[in-house]
Amino acid sequence: MAARPTFPAGLALDAHKQQACGTPIVELPLPPQVVLALDQGTGYSAEPVVTVGEAVAAGTLVAHAGHPYASAVHASLAGIVVAIETREAAVPSGRSVCIVIDGNASNRIDDSVRPVADLAALSPDELVQRLRDAGIAGLGGAGFPTATKLAYARNLGAHTLVLNGAECEPWICCDDALMRSAADDVVLGALILRRAASAERCVIAIEDDKPAAIAAVTSAIERLRDEALTLAVVPAVYPQGAERQLITAVVGVEVPAGGLPADAGVVCQNVATAAAVAHWATRGEPMLSRVVTVTGSGVEHPGNVRAPIGAPLAALIAASGGYRDTPLRLIAGGSMTGRALPSDEVGLTKSMNCIFVATRDDIGSRLEAVEVPCIRCGDCAGVCPAGLLPQQLLRAAHADAHDTLRQLGLSDCIDCGLCDYVCPSQILLADRFRDARRRLQEAAAMAQKAADARERHGLRKRRQQEAATAEQQTFESVRDRARRPDDDSAGDSN
C-alpha cells in the first residue's frame, strides 16, 4: 500500500479496540433518573429554564445556552425535575450545576419534537440557529457547540468541511461502531452540516484500521451520489483525529498557530455529530443521547452503548455486564487523553466518548512509573505532532518563564500526551504543560485586569482634576461677579 499523506511525527499505538468493537451497539433502557450537567464539558454552563417540581417531557428544553461556548440542554427523560444543584460531574472542573430528573413511566415526548419539514427551505443562518436550539455539540470529546463552530466557519469563509471519523485514541471505538451501523445518517448529517457551514465540499476522514466503517461509508456515499462528498482514508497514526493534525493530513494545509481551522478555510466536525444532526433533521430530536464506548479490562462485556445524556455511568456499566476484576480507575476518554472520573454516579455528558474501566493490566505501568531526570534523548521532540520542543518547554515550565513558554509555542500543544508516552525517564510532560498553560492564561488575565484598573484609576483622577478645576472657575467667576457691581457703580459715578 502506498504511503498516504499525513501530518508530521505522531506514533502508531496499540489500538486496544478489538475488546469493544466486536458487538453491535446496545440500547440502554431508560434509566429511572438522569443527571444533566449544565456544563457539558466546555467549562461554560447553560442557564436552567425549569424549576424544581416542574414536569418535563423527553425533548423539553431545560437549560438555555446563553454563552456561545455553552450548549442547550434538553430533558432526555420524561418526568419531574427533583433537584437543581451543584454536584460532582464528568467535566474538567469536576463539578457543575446539574438538573436531576426522576422519570415517570409516561415516556411523554415534547411537542417540539417533530421532523424538520422545511429543512431544504432553511437558510444557512437559520440552520445554524436551529442546531444551536437543538443543543447539538461536538461528540468527538470536546463538547464544543456545533452552531458556534459553524458560525465561525461562515464568518471566515471556510470552503471545506472535514468530517472526523479518524478516532485515533486507543480503546475508543464508538464512532467506528456508529459508522458501521448508521453510515447513511453520517452522510445525511454531513450534507446538512456542509450547507450550514456554506462549505463547497465535504471530506469524511477515516483511519485505515477501520475497513468495515470505510466500506459502510463508501456505499452510503455511493447511494447518495453527491459530488461534493468524498472519503479520505488516513493512516492509523496517533493523534490523527486531533483537529489540526487531521486537517493537515486531509486538506494539506496547516492551521496557523493561535488561529482557528476556519482561518485555513476548514471546519471540522465529528462523524457522530453529523449522525446527531441527521437525527434532528429526520425526527426533530434535539441532542438527547449518544453512543459511548464502555471498555477496559475492568468491565465484563466491553462494547458500545447508546444512552440518554445524563444517564448515570453505573447504568451504562451495568448494561455492559458490570465490573469484573479489580477496577483501579474510571476514566472518561481513552488511555492517552482521558480524565479520571470522581465516581460512577455522575451523568453521561455530550463530550464523553468513552468510559474506560481500567485495571492494573491496562494502566499499571503508568501508575508505577517513577520519574527520573531528563536524559536529553529528544524522543519527545521526534513524536510531537505540533512540532514543539517538549524538553525546552519542560525547562521553561519548571522556571515558570512565561515569555520563553510563549516563544516556544506552548499554546500550540494539543495535549495529546505522546511526549510522556515515549519519555524513557517517565516524565509527566503533558501534565506540566497543561499546568503551565493554565498559569500563562492566569497571568494574561491578571495583566488585563491590571491594565483595566490602571485605565479606570487614570480616568477617575482626570475626572477629579476636572471637577476641581471647574469648582475653582465657578468660585472665581462668582467672586468676579461679586466685585463687578462696585466697578460698575464706580464707572457710573464717573
Partner 1 sequence: MNAGAILIAVLVAATLAVTLGVALGWAAARIEPNADSLVERIDALLPQTQCGQCRYPGCRPYAAAIASSAAEIDRCPPGGEATVRALAELLDRALRPLDPEFGVPKPAQVAWIDEARCIGCARCLPACPVDAIVGTSRQMHTVITRQCTGCELCLPPCPVDCIELRPAPAVSRRYSQPRAA
- Rank residues 91 and 249 by Cβ distance to partner 1 and give the closer one: 91
Binding residue (CB under 8 A) for partner 1 from 43, 68, 124, 409: 43
CA–CA gap between residue 254 and residue 374 (Å, rounded): 30
Nearer CB in complex with partner 1: 31/241 = 241
Q: Could you tell me which stretch among 118-126, 151-159, 258-266, 457-465 binds partner 1 (CB under 8 A)?
A: 457-465
The identity of residue 39, as a single letter, is: D
Longest dimension (CA), the chain: 117
| Cβ atoms of 230 and 203 closer than 8 Å | yes
Q: What is the DSSP letter of 13?
A: -
Instruction: Confirm or reject binding of residue 298 to partner 1 (CB under 8 A).
Output: no
Query: Which contiguous run of DSSP H or E holds residue 191?
Result: helix 183-196
Query: For residue 398, which amino acid is it?
Result: H
Residue 287's Cα: distance from chain center in Å? Answer: 15
Residue 307 found at the interface with partner 1 (CB under 8 A):
no
Q: Interface with partner 1 includes 456 (CB under 8 A)?
A: yes
* 353 scored as a contact of partner 1 (CB under 8 A): no
| Placement of cell 468660585 in the chain | 475
Q: What angle do CA 162, 199, 287 make, to 5 degrees?
A: 65
Least Å from the CB of residue 128 to partner 1? 24
Among 92, 201, 228, 314, binds partner 1 (CB under 8 A): 92
Instruction: Output the smallest distance, CB 448 to partner 1, in A.
Output: 9
Q: State in angstroms the smallest separation of the CB of 162 from partner 1.
A: 26
Which CB sits closer to partner 1, 144 or 280? Answer: 144
CB 279 within 8 A of CB 185: yes
Q: Are strands 303-308 and 26-27 parallel, antiparallel or unpaired?
A: parallel
280 versus 433: smaller Cβ distance to partner 1: 433
> Is 215 in contact with 181 (CB distance < 8 Å)?
no
Instruction: Give least dist CB 115 to partner 1, A.
Output: 37
Work out whether 190 is an interface residue with partner 1 (CB under 8 A).
no
Closer residue to partner 1 in complex, CB, 175/362: 362
Tell me: does residue 434 bind partner 1 (CB under 8 A).
Answer: yes
Q: How far is the CB of 30 from partner 1 (least distance, A)?
A: 29
- Dihedral of the CA atoms 365, 367, 369, 374 (nearest 10)? 110
Binding range to partner 1, per CB under 8 A, among 80-88, 192-200, 309-317, 361-369: 361-369
Q: Using CB under 8 A, which of the segments 75-83, 152-160, 221-229, 440-448 binds partner 1?
A: 440-448
Planar angle of CA 416, 144, 162, nearest 5 degrees: 75
Sheet containing 55-56, strands listed edge to edge, beginning at the edge strand earlier in sequence:
33-37, 95-103, 79-88, 55-56
Q: Say what the alpha-carbon torsion angle 152, 157, 162, 163 is, to the nearest 10 degrees.
A: 50
**Residue 238: all three cell numbers together:** 496517533
Q: Which residues in the 363-382 window bind partner 1 by CB under 8 A?
A: 363, 366
The DSSP 8-state label assigned to residue 29 in this structure reads P
Task: Indicate the pairing of strand 33-37 with strand 55-56.
Answer: unpaired
Q: Please report whether residue 168 would count as binding partner 1 according to CB under 8 A.
A: no
β strands within 194-275, DSSP E: 201-207, 229-234, 266-270
327 in contact with partner 1 (CB under 8 A): no
Contact with partner 1 (CB under 8 A) among 453, 468, 470, 478: 453
**Does residue 68 bind partner 1 (CB under 8 A)?**
no
Nearest CA among 488, 17, 31, 90 for reference residue 295: 17
Helix (H) or strand (E) holding 259: none
In whole angstroms, give the CA distance from residue 298 to residue 448.
Answer: 47
* Binding residue for partner 1, selected from 99, 358, 380, 386, defined by CB under 8 A: 358
Return the number of the residue (459 or 470) whose C-beta is nearest partner 1: 459
Size of the site for partner 1 (CB under 8 A): 44
Q: Which of 64, 108, 360, 437 binds partner 1 (CB under 8 A)?
A: 437
Nearer to partner 1 by Cβ, of 28 and 423: the residue is: 423
Candidate list 202, 420, 423, 427; residue touching partner 1; CB under 8 A: 420
Is residue 114 at the binding interface for partner 1, with CB under 8 A as the rule? no
Q: By rule CB under 8 A, what string of x and - marks binding of each residue 329-348 to partner 1?
A: x-xxx-xxxxxx--------
| Nearer Cβ to partner 1 (43/124) | 43
Residue 126: CB partners within 8 Å, gap ≥ 6? none
Q: Segment near partner 1 (CB under 8 A), from 97-105, 156-164, 346-354, 356-364?
A: 356-364
- 210 CA to centre of own chain: 24
Which is nearest to 176 in space by CA: 311, 28, 393, 19? 19
By CB under 8 A, name the binding residues for partner 1.
43-44, 92-94, 329, 331-333, 335-340, 356, 358, 362-363, 366, 417, 420, 428, 430-431, 434-435, 437-438, 441-442, 445-446, 449-454, 456-457, 459-461
